[in-house]
Amino acid sequence: MADDETPDRTPVPDQQPETTVVTSGRSEGETSLAPVLYPTSTFAFESVEEGRRMATAVGAERFYSRYGNPTVNAFESAIAELEGADAARSFASGMGAISAVVLGLCSSGDHVVAQRQLYAGTQLFLQTVCPRLGIDVTFVDGTESGAFEAAIQPGRTMLVFAESPANPRLDLVDLDALGAIDRATTVVDSTFATPLGQNPIAHGVDLVVHSATKGIAGHNDATIGVVAGSEDLVAWLWGFAVLHGANASPADALNAHRGLRTLGVRLAHQTATAQRLAEHLEAHAGVETVCYPGLDSHPQRDLAVRQLRTPGGLLTFDLAGDAETGRRFVESVRLAHRATSLGGPETLVTHPASTTHVGLTPEEMEATGIGPGTIRVSCGLEHADDVVADLDQALAAAVREPSTRDRAASGG
């Protein structure tokens, strides 16, 4: 390299996304390899004219941090690159992103088609906040072919909202079919997949949303959401977001961007553990069903192979038995933690029937796919042998003959 030449950092041909998580979101001339924290809420400008320019520019990076911030923008540009989107905007949480998409694109009198299988917060938002604002929502089965399209009301439906893989049973939505819808803006919550598992925009979907709190940040140390899409859509959402005020904090964007660098190795490890665990559980007499896109028994296995690069670190299964069996299982884990969330270093188990969905009637629970023995596991970064051994001993404890103490407690 001659002295006057700048080094060539053109990506290698067909660079894999596991490499792009390492290379993305670096600004020209920045020599710090780690993301740089700009904690400032505001930036000085030289003249009235420069202030006017920044106050009216979309996505101004150095004006006021609710509008934009170099730490936050670096994370956003990394996500945009990974998702194959023109642009991205991050928010204070996944729900901040989801609520901004719905409120930014829909007005009173408009209609939304949403999938029945959804993150509980999204479902509640669509069921309670939307009707209060005069936004009608129709829920459909996202696994049923043509269901989204059939529920569209021409001229009224602004948004079609999907989640894939979806809570709680890892149901998949056919992204090609969703992307073919052109009478409304289509959105996919792709949190479970991460940008390494699938890229909905490549299938024609308009917007992709992530709770980056989960696998992207990956260390349970950031609460942050992100939306990616076309220049026009993201600029429109940015205009709403500046007034909505649910912008991501620079500290959370820093942790999310730092976490993103290792997403490839973390996801590969978590997926390998989940695959082993899913196969182990499927062969266990105390387990009725295992929902995992990496199993041949997944009801949408062909679709999983077609659109997921990796089945991911999350699985859901049904214990044979009642709610008591579910409770005993969750209370018997020793290595895994009883906690909500996913995609972090620690293996987490949840029992939806007694926690997140405890308020539902038995009929509502069945419609949501939650049984008394349904357990969701987010595989962590521990050695797979230890995760399998821990869940195995919890399973043995859960399906054993009830102890004298348990019998006394249940009055039997």
Ligand X SMILES: *Cc1c(COP(=O)(O)O)cnc(C)c1O
Interacting residue ranges for ligand X, rule: CB under 6 A: 93-95, 119, 121-122, 163, 167, 189, 191-192, 211, 213-214, 223, 225
From 291, 358, 347, 353, select the one nearest 326 (Cα to Cα): 353
Catalytic position from the list 66, 276, 301, 309: 66
The least distance separating ligand X from the CB of residue 125, rounded to whole angstroms, comes to: 10
The least distance separating ligand X from the CB of residue 354, rounded to whole angstroms, comes to: 19
Helix and strand element counts for the chain (H, E)? 17, 12
- For residue 168, cis peptide bond before it (omega within 30 degrees of 0): yes
Q: Which residues contact 201 (CB under 8 A, 6 or more apart)?
A: 83, 84, 85, 208, 228, 229
Active site annotation includes 292: no
Active site annotation includes 189: yes
From 347, 349, 351, select the one nearest 379 (Cα to Cα): 347
The least distance separating ligand X from the CB of residue 122, rounded to whole angstroms, comes to: 6
The least distance separating ligand X from the CB of residue 178, rounded to whole angstroms, comes to: 16
Active site annotation includes 214: yes
Which CB, 199 or 325, lies closer to ligand X?
A: 199
Strand partners, 159: 112, 185
Which CB, 235 or 246, lies closer to ligand X?
A: 246
Which CB, 101 or 287, lies closer to ligand X?
A: 101
The least distance separating ligand X from the CB of residue 300, rounded to whole angstroms, comes to: 17
* Cβ atoms 92, 36 nearer than 8 A: no
Structure tokens belonging to residue 181: 């819808």
The least distance separating ligand X from the CB of residue 175, rounded to whole angstroms, comes to: 15
Annotate 147-175 with DSSP letters as a single string: HHHHH--TTTEEEEEEESSBTTTTB---H
Which CB, 256 or 278, lies closer to ligand X?
A: 256
Q: Which residues contact 294 (CB under 8 A, 6 or more apart)?
A: 271, 274, 275, 278, 304, 311, 312
Which CB, 63 or 125, lies closer to ligand X?
A: 125
Please tell me the distance from the alpha carbon of residue 237 to that of residue 270, in angstroms, as a whole number: 33
Catalytic position from the list 62, 116, 169, 214: 214
Which CB, 173 or 398, lies closer to ligand X?
A: 173
Which CB, 70 or 344, lies closer to ligand X?
A: 344
Structure tokens belonging to residue 379: 């595989």
- For residue 165, cis peptide bond before it (omega within 30 degrees of 0): yes
Please tell me the distance from the alpha carbon of residue 375 to that of residue 172, in angstroms, as a whole number: 19
Catalytic position from the list 62, 119, 174, 292: 119
CA torsion sign, 175 to 179 to 184 to 190? positive
The least distance separating ligand X from the CB of residue 166, rounded to whole angstroms, comes to: 8
Pairing of strands 111-115, 87-91: unpaired
Q: Which residues contact 1 (CB under 8 A, 6 or more apart)?
A: 7
Which residue numbers are catalytic? 66, 119, 189, 214
